[in-house]
């Protein structure tokens, strides 16, 4: 009986003494999105996400907006803008999206999905790969600048 009371007291005190962790909410939310997309793979996680854009790139007319300067970084989320949006975006905002979004925080609605990215050598695909979390944007209504 003594042990039951002691265990009960320890259990209750452990539950009530959770430490407050202070962290950068952008980084923690980005890591949560990545973790959820890994957990749900091959499906994705649908939602509206707030992301700081630090870098961009263009490949095959698709604009890629990245939350890290190195797009291969494990902590990176890539927002992929469909090629048909580039002209409409430039016309509406007077700047191409790969330049316009740098150092801005965006809100994007879509599906965060874990993708396997294969590496190429001499123009040929290899067996080596890594994973990225992507959110595809096919409409200007899916993305807006917050700050």
CB-CB contact of 79 with 138 (8 Å): no
pLDDT in tens, 90-102: 998 899 999 999 9
Of 81, 73, 26, nearest to 57 by C-alpha is 81
Contact assessment for residue 135 and residue 108, using Cβ atoms and an 8 Å cutoff: yes
What CATH number does the domain located at 24-145 have?
2.40.50
pLDDT tens digits, 16-65: 433 333 333 355 599 999 999 999 999 999 999 999 999 999 999 999 99
What's the pTM value of the predicted model, to 2 decimals? 0.78
Lowest-confidence region among 2-11, 21-30, 80-89: 2-11
The pLDDT value given to residue 7 = 42
């Amino acid at each position: 009986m003594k042990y039951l009371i002691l265990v009960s007291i320890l259990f209750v005190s452990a539950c009530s003494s959770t430490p407050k962790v202070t962290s950068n909410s952008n980084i923690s939310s980005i890591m949560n999105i990545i973790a959820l997309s890994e957990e749900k793979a091959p499906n994705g996680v649908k939602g509206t996400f707030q992301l700081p854009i630090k870098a961009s790139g263009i490949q095959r007319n698709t604009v890629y907006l990245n939350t890290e300067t190195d797009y291969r970084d494990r902590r990176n989320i890539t927002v992929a803008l469909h090629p048909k949006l580039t002209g409409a975006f430039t016309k509406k905002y007077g700047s191409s999206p790969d330049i316009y979004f740098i150092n801005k925080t965006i809100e994007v609605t879509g599906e965060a999905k874990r993708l396997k990215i294969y590496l190429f050598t001499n123009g040929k695909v290899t067996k080596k790969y890594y994973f990225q979390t992507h959110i595809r944007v096919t409409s200007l209504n899916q993305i807006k600048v917050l700050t």
